[in-house]
Structure 1
């Protein structure tokens, strides 16, 4: 593999001159720039990105953490960040957290160690205290869909949404992930999570036991499992609140297999307004989650771009 010394010898210039050309210094003459460029091309030399970052104090990269990039929801988020990054001549590095605390921590540490100039983070498993520490360490960081009061007004901040919903039915169940995560439904400006589910219903004069909460992975398989477990309890149920559209789709398939007529016998609401919601039958009532808009705003708000 060619080195910077090889390039300097081939171009007939000093190593310092090659370094200036690589780092786009205004000092080299056009002739030097041309000879060095031709030498690098001939030798197949690629500048060391880490070395250039040490000189320029910038890697021109934005780190993005999502739960699973194969999920269309997070694919949309990544695309939105990438769109903003490219407008500023930057590139992105993507890490997957898989709704797991250790995986999220490892991915964030990798992005930081890769000297990303800014981070856009969608974290569900890590505690607020740890995310605050990252915010203090990274010069430009935005959390998507994570409300951390201690970061209010700080350079590193959160972008969330709050959606008021009405609760017309009297027997709600919640189909929710097995993990301790923030849920994205709110009523009376109160976030609904598994632990706050009963409080949200109580605020609407609906009192139900914990038996009405069932857990599963945040995908269609998890929705099937959760809905199956709910039906085995033989509870009086009139409505289902699903964590996302994928879980709703899985729950819906179980209800159809058990000959429930929707929406006559059972109401269901999902979250995200993902592509799958469009093709379910009957059509799924869902709440549109503006992840693309939030990701674009989060990326634009990074001081890295200012």
Structure 2
């Protein structure tokens, strides 16, 4: 079996040059690169990934933990990460955290054990202290959708308060005074900040954000269905609903239509995220566009730079969502303005 020494001898270059070619280093001249490639083909030489990792001290696999890869939002996030991985000749290893502390801990430790030195972590269940401890042991670990005050330069996150405040204000400007809020049941910062944004927008407009008009459920279509059924059963008057995400919004719309309500003529419904189905639902969904693909690409670039000892081009980054007006929000019914 051919070795790296055999490749170097046949190509007439040093072993270090062969290693640089294998690891796609830009510091190798084109002539040397072609000579090494020809020698590898002639000798049928395949680099040992474990040996490469030992030499370069960086594995060619990037680790990623998300809530649930089957969720369209996290599917978009993973796709953006994979695009960056392919551009840098890296492989991607994915694990689900499910907003469960034990599962998140197990997934992070598994990714570390697989020698993924570049890591993009979406964690909501673990404490700041525990995540900081992991990051101190793994220099290439970057957190997405999470701000750790102890190490903000390793974080990329969204201004959830701004997003929820903006879309609630959109409904208020349409004349809505009775606005319900369907939130995630999970005890996570995203959920708290989106409720706070809704409440602040209501108060600033002189409206009462009644706690009875806030319903919490699983952040998916079924959760949206259950939440709006509970609100209807409670007899809470509302002409608009602010949903935690687009999935819950579609579940809400389905139940409202089944119960004889017209959307948006009787009830406006708005979402959050702007996932793929938001613009294909009927009515098309008014929502906040979450720049998750851009955030995921940036997080991947940061993780790869940190893993190789480079300082990232930028420090901590906070992104803001953008209001996308579509068909599911309209002027409030005249009699309830």
* TM-score of Structure 1 vs Structure 2, range by shorter chain: 0.7 to 0.9
Match of 2:256 in 1: 255
The answer to whether the 8 A contact 1:270-1:286 is kept is yes
Q: Which moved more, 1:244-253 or 1:266-275?
A: 266-275
Is the partner of 1:192 in helix, strand or coil? helix
Is the partner of 1:150 in helix, strand or coil? coil
| Corresponding pairs, count | 278
Q: CA deviation at 1:102?
A: 1.9
Pick closer, same or farther for the CA change 1:205–1:151 going to 2, 3 Å: farther
The answer to whether the 8 A contact 2:184-2:191 is kept is no
Q: CA deviation at 1:88?
A: 1.7
Match of 2:66 in 1: 66
Distance across 2 between alignment mates of 1:215 and 1:205: 24
2:180 counterpart of 1:182: no
Find the partner of 1:160 among 140, 158, 163: 158
Gaps of 5+ in 1: 1-6, 186-190
Q: CA deviation at 1:50?
A: 4.1
Match of 1:170 in 2: 177
Pick closer, same or farther for the CA change 1:80–1:184 going to 2, 3 Å: farther
The answer to whether the 8 A contact 1:60-1:91 is kept is yes
Match of 2:292 in 1: 291
Distance across 1 between alignment mates of 2:244 and 2:180: 11
Residue pairs, 1:254-273, within 5 angstroms: 254-273=255-274
Is the partner of 2:116 in helix, strand or coil? coil
Is the partner of 1:65 in helix, strand or coil? strand
Distance across 1 between alignment mates of 2:197 and 2:18: 62
Q: CA deviation at 1:220?
A: 0.6
Match of 1:3 in 2: none
Q: CA deviation at 1:246?
A: 0.7
The answer to whether the 8 A contact 1:183-1:243 is kept is no
Is the partner of 2:247 in helix, strand or coil? helix
Distance across 2 between alignment mates of 1:239 and 1:226: 14
Q: CA deviation at 1:250?
A: 0.4
Gaps of 5+ in 2: 10-14, 20-34, 311-337
Q: CA deviation at 1:100?
A: 2.0
**What TM-score, normalized by structure 1, do the two folds share?**
0.78
Match of 1:4 in 2: none
Q: CA deviation at 1:101?
A: 2.1
Q: CA deviation at 1:201?
A: 3.4
Deviation sequence 1:207-261 (CA, Å, 0-9, x none): 2332222122111111111111111100111221111111100011111111112
Q: CA deviation at 1:66?
A: 1.1
> Highest relative contact order (Cα 8 Å, sep 6+), 1 or 2?
2
Distance across 2 between alignment mates of 1:27 and 1:212: 65
Name the structure where helix makes up a greater proportion of residues: 2
Distance across 2 between alignment mates of 1:20 and 1:179: 56
Residue pairs, 1:38-187, within 5 angstroms: 38=43, 47=48, 49-50=49-50, 52-152=52-152, 154=153, 156-161=154-159, 162-163=162-163, 165=166, 166=169, 168=172, 169-183=176-190
Q: Kindly report the root-mean-square deviation, in angstroms, between the aligned alpha carbons of the 2 structures.
A: 3.2
Distance across 2 between alignment mates of 1:198 and 1:35: 64
